[in-house]
Amino acid sequence: MRITFALAAALTALAACGAEPDGSPGGGSAQTTTTPTYENARWGYTVSIPPGWHRAEEPLSATTEPVEILAVATYRARAGDEDCGPLVFGGFDSGEVLVTILERGLGPEAEWPDFPPRPAHFEFEPGLTSESADCFGATRHVALRSHWFNFTDVGRHFHVLVAIGADAPAARAREAYRMIDSLRLDPSVKPGWRSSG
Protein backbone atom coordinates (compact mmCIF):
# COMPACT_ATOMS: atom_id res chain seq x y z
CA MET A 1 0.00 0.00 0.00
CA ARG A 2 2.80 2.39 0.99
CA ILE A 3 4.72 1.55 -2.22
CA THR A 4 1.65 2.21 -4.36
CA PHE A 5 1.09 5.56 -2.65
CA ALA A 6 4.75 6.54 -3.07
CA LEU A 7 4.69 5.58 -6.73
CA ALA A 8 1.54 7.59 -7.33
CA ALA A 9 3.07 10.60 -5.55
CA ALA A 10 6.23 10.32 -7.64
CA LEU A 11 4.25 10.13 -10.88
CA THR A 12 2.18 13.14 -9.84
CA ALA A 13 5.32 15.14 -9.08
CA LEU A 14 6.89 14.10 -12.38
CA ALA A 15 3.77 15.17 -14.29
CA ALA A 16 3.79 18.50 -12.47
CA CYS A 17 7.38 19.11 -13.57
CA GLY A 18 6.42 18.60 -17.18
CA ALA A 19 3.35 20.79 -17.28
CA GLU A 20 2.28 24.28 -16.49
CA PRO A 21 -0.75 24.92 -14.25
CA ASP A 22 -2.88 25.42 -17.35
CA GLY A 23 -1.92 21.98 -18.66
CA SER A 24 0.50 23.19 -21.33
CA PRO A 25 3.92 21.54 -21.60
CA GLY A 26 6.52 22.86 -19.19
CA GLY A 27 9.99 24.11 -19.92
CA GLY A 28 8.95 27.54 -21.15
CA SER A 29 6.45 30.32 -20.90
CA ALA A 30 4.09 28.86 -23.51
CA GLN A 31 0.44 29.38 -22.68
CA THR A 32 -2.62 27.83 -24.24
CA THR A 33 -5.56 30.05 -25.00
CA THR A 34 -9.08 28.99 -25.72
CA THR A 35 -10.39 30.15 -29.08
CA PRO A 36 -14.14 30.69 -28.82
CA THR A 37 -16.32 29.19 -31.53
CA TYR A 38 -19.00 31.39 -33.05
CA GLU A 39 -22.04 29.70 -34.56
CA ASN A 40 -24.37 31.35 -37.02
CA ALA A 41 -27.46 29.24 -37.70
CA ARG A 42 -28.87 31.72 -40.23
CA TRP A 43 -25.87 31.42 -42.54
CA GLY A 44 -25.08 27.85 -41.55
CA TYR A 45 -21.52 27.93 -40.27
CA THR A 46 -19.26 27.84 -37.24
CA VAL A 47 -15.88 29.53 -37.00
CA SER A 48 -13.21 29.87 -34.31
CA ILE A 49 -12.44 33.54 -33.70
CA PRO A 50 -9.04 34.17 -32.07
CA PRO A 51 -8.81 36.22 -28.88
CA GLY A 52 -8.40 39.91 -29.63
CA TRP A 53 -10.41 39.77 -32.85
CA HIS A 54 -13.80 41.45 -33.21
CA ARG A 55 -16.76 40.19 -35.23
CA ALA A 56 -18.91 42.84 -36.87
CA GLU A 57 -22.49 42.38 -35.72
CA GLU A 58 -23.89 44.18 -38.76
CA PRO A 59 -22.76 43.76 -42.38
CA LEU A 60 -19.97 46.10 -43.41
CA SER A 61 -20.18 45.45 -47.14
CA ALA A 62 -22.73 47.27 -49.25
CA THR A 63 -23.60 44.20 -51.33
CA THR A 64 -26.78 42.20 -51.75
CA GLU A 65 -25.18 39.59 -54.07
CA PRO A 66 -22.84 38.24 -52.92
CA VAL A 67 -23.98 38.56 -49.31
CA GLU A 68 -21.54 39.21 -46.47
CA ILE A 69 -21.90 36.42 -43.93
CA LEU A 70 -18.88 37.23 -41.76
CA ALA A 71 -16.54 40.16 -41.13
CA VAL A 72 -13.88 39.84 -38.44
CA ALA A 73 -10.98 42.17 -37.70
CA THR A 74 -8.26 42.90 -35.18
CA TYR A 75 -10.09 46.17 -34.47
CA ARG A 76 -13.75 47.12 -34.20
CA ALA A 77 -14.51 47.46 -37.89
CA ARG A 78 -17.33 49.75 -38.84
CA ALA A 79 -19.29 50.74 -41.89
CA GLY A 80 -18.39 54.10 -43.32
CA ASP A 81 -18.50 56.29 -46.38
CA GLU A 82 -16.10 54.57 -48.72
CA ASP A 83 -15.58 55.39 -52.37
CA CYS A 84 -13.70 52.21 -53.29
CA GLY A 85 -16.49 49.83 -54.16
CA PRO A 86 -18.74 47.67 -52.00
CA LEU A 87 -16.18 46.43 -49.45
CA VAL A 88 -15.87 48.66 -46.41
CA PHE A 89 -12.72 49.28 -44.35
CA GLY A 90 -13.94 51.73 -41.71
CA GLY A 91 -11.27 52.02 -39.00
CA PHE A 92 -8.62 49.98 -40.83
CA ASP A 93 -5.00 51.14 -40.54
CA SER A 94 -1.60 49.67 -41.32
CA GLY A 95 -1.43 47.75 -38.03
CA GLU A 96 -4.65 45.80 -38.53
CA VAL A 97 -5.99 42.69 -40.29
CA LEU A 98 -9.49 42.27 -41.71
CA VAL A 99 -11.25 39.14 -42.99
CA THR A 100 -14.53 39.32 -44.91
CA ILE A 101 -16.41 36.30 -46.26
CA LEU A 102 -19.20 36.73 -48.80
CA GLU A 103 -21.50 34.00 -50.15
CA ARG A 104 -22.86 33.80 -53.67
CA GLY A 105 -26.50 33.01 -54.31
CA LEU A 106 -27.97 29.97 -55.99
CA GLY A 107 -27.12 29.48 -59.65
CA PRO A 108 -28.30 26.00 -60.64
CA GLU A 109 -27.25 26.54 -64.25
CA ALA A 110 -23.82 27.97 -63.33
CA GLU A 111 -20.66 25.87 -63.57
CA TRP A 112 -18.66 28.07 -61.14
CA PRO A 113 -15.26 27.70 -62.90
CA ASP A 114 -13.68 30.44 -60.76
CA PHE A 115 -14.63 28.74 -57.48
CA PRO A 116 -12.25 25.82 -56.92
CA PRO A 117 -12.86 23.20 -54.24
CA ARG A 118 -11.84 24.25 -50.76
CA PRO A 119 -8.15 23.46 -50.13
CA ALA A 120 -6.89 21.58 -47.09
CA HIS A 121 -5.43 24.85 -45.76
CA PHE A 122 -5.69 28.49 -46.76
CA GLU A 123 -2.60 30.69 -47.06
CA PHE A 124 -1.62 34.04 -48.52
CA GLU A 125 -1.15 34.03 -52.28
CA PRO A 126 0.61 37.06 -53.76
CA GLY A 127 -0.97 38.64 -56.80
CA LEU A 128 -4.58 37.82 -55.91
CA THR A 129 -5.57 41.31 -54.83
CA SER A 130 -8.85 43.10 -54.29
CA GLU A 131 -9.58 46.23 -56.30
CA SER A 132 -11.45 47.66 -53.32
CA ALA A 133 -8.49 47.06 -50.98
CA ASP A 134 -6.01 48.46 -53.51
CA CYS A 135 -8.18 51.55 -53.98
CA PHE A 136 -8.53 52.02 -50.23
CA GLY A 137 -4.77 51.75 -49.71
CA ALA A 138 -4.07 54.29 -52.45
CA THR A 139 -6.73 56.86 -51.52
CA ARG A 140 -6.27 56.59 -47.73
CA HIS A 141 -2.48 56.16 -47.95
CA VAL A 142 -2.60 52.97 -45.87
CA ALA A 143 0.04 50.38 -46.78
CA LEU A 144 -1.51 46.92 -46.94
CA ARG A 145 -1.49 43.57 -48.72
CA SER A 146 -4.76 42.09 -49.84
CA HIS A 147 -5.73 38.55 -50.78
CA TRP A 148 -8.99 38.04 -52.68
CA PHE A 149 -9.92 34.45 -53.46
CA ASN A 150 -12.86 32.14 -54.10
CA PHE A 151 -13.70 28.63 -53.05
CA THR A 152 -16.50 26.05 -53.09
CA ASP A 153 -17.48 23.87 -50.15
CA VAL A 154 -20.56 21.65 -49.56
CA GLY A 155 -22.07 23.02 -52.77
CA ARG A 156 -21.82 26.64 -51.58
CA HIS A 157 -19.65 29.34 -53.19
CA PHE A 158 -17.65 32.03 -51.40
CA HIS A 159 -15.48 35.09 -51.94
CA VAL A 160 -12.92 35.89 -49.23
CA LEU A 161 -10.95 39.06 -48.62
CA VAL A 162 -7.98 39.13 -46.27
CA ALA A 163 -6.53 42.62 -45.83
CA ILE A 164 -3.23 42.76 -43.95
CA GLY A 165 -1.78 46.10 -42.91
CA ALA A 166 1.93 46.54 -43.61
CA ASP A 167 2.64 46.99 -39.89
CA ALA A 168 0.36 44.18 -38.67
CA PRO A 169 2.15 41.48 -36.63
CA ALA A 170 2.90 38.34 -38.63
CA ALA A 171 1.13 36.34 -35.92
CA ARG A 172 -2.11 38.18 -36.68
CA ALA A 173 -1.86 37.32 -40.38
CA ARG A 174 -1.35 33.66 -39.48
CA GLU A 175 -4.39 33.82 -37.18
CA ALA A 176 -6.47 35.11 -40.08
CA TYR A 177 -5.79 32.02 -42.15
CA ARG A 178 -6.20 29.64 -39.21
CA MET A 179 -9.58 31.26 -38.61
CA ILE A 180 -10.62 30.68 -42.23
CA ASP A 181 -9.37 27.09 -41.91
CA SER A 182 -11.67 26.65 -38.91
CA LEU A 183 -14.78 27.61 -40.90
CA ARG A 184 -17.22 24.71 -40.96
CA LEU A 185 -20.25 24.91 -43.23
CA ASP A 186 -23.62 23.26 -42.81
CA PRO A 187 -24.47 21.48 -46.10
CA SER A 188 -28.19 21.65 -45.30
CA VAL A 189 -28.14 25.48 -45.38
CA LYS A 190 -28.40 26.95 -48.89
CA PRO A 191 -28.58 30.57 -50.09
CA GLY A 192 -32.11 31.91 -50.28
CA TRP A 193 -31.35 34.25 -53.19
CA ARG A 194 -30.23 33.87 -56.79
CA SER A 195 -26.70 34.45 -57.98
CA SER A 196 -26.15 37.54 -60.11
CA GLY A 197 -24.22 35.42 -62.61
Same domain, 89 and 9: no
pLDDT in tens, 71-117: 999 999 988 666 788 888 888 999 999 999 999 999 878 889 999 99
pTM for this model (two decimals): 0.81
Q: What is the 8-class DSSP label of residue 64? A: S
**What is the Rg, in whole angstroms, of the alpha carbon atoms belonging to the chain?**
21
- Cis amide linkage into residue 66, ω under 30° from 0: yes
The rounded distance, in Å, linking the Cα atoms of 144 and 167 is 8
* DSSP three-state, residue 35: coil
Same domain, 161 and 106: yes
CB 105 within 8 A of CB 196: yes
Looking at the structure of the chain, the number of domains it has is: 2
Q: Is the residue at 196 inside a domain?
A: no
Same domain, 59 and 101: yes
Same domain, 5 and 49: no
pLDDT in tens, 109-153: 888 999 999 999 999 999 999 999 999 999 999 999 999 999 999
Q: What is the 8-class DSSP label of residue 95? A: T
Domain of 139, in residue numbers: 36-185
Same domain, 27 and 88: no
Same domain, 79 and 12: no
* DSSP three-state, residue 82: coil
Same domain, 7 and 97: no
Same domain, 28 and 47: no
Same domain, 99 and 2: no
pLDDT in tens, 159-186: 999 999 999 999 999 999 999 999 999 9
Q: Is the residue at 105 inside a domain?
A: yes
Same domain, 89 and 143: yes
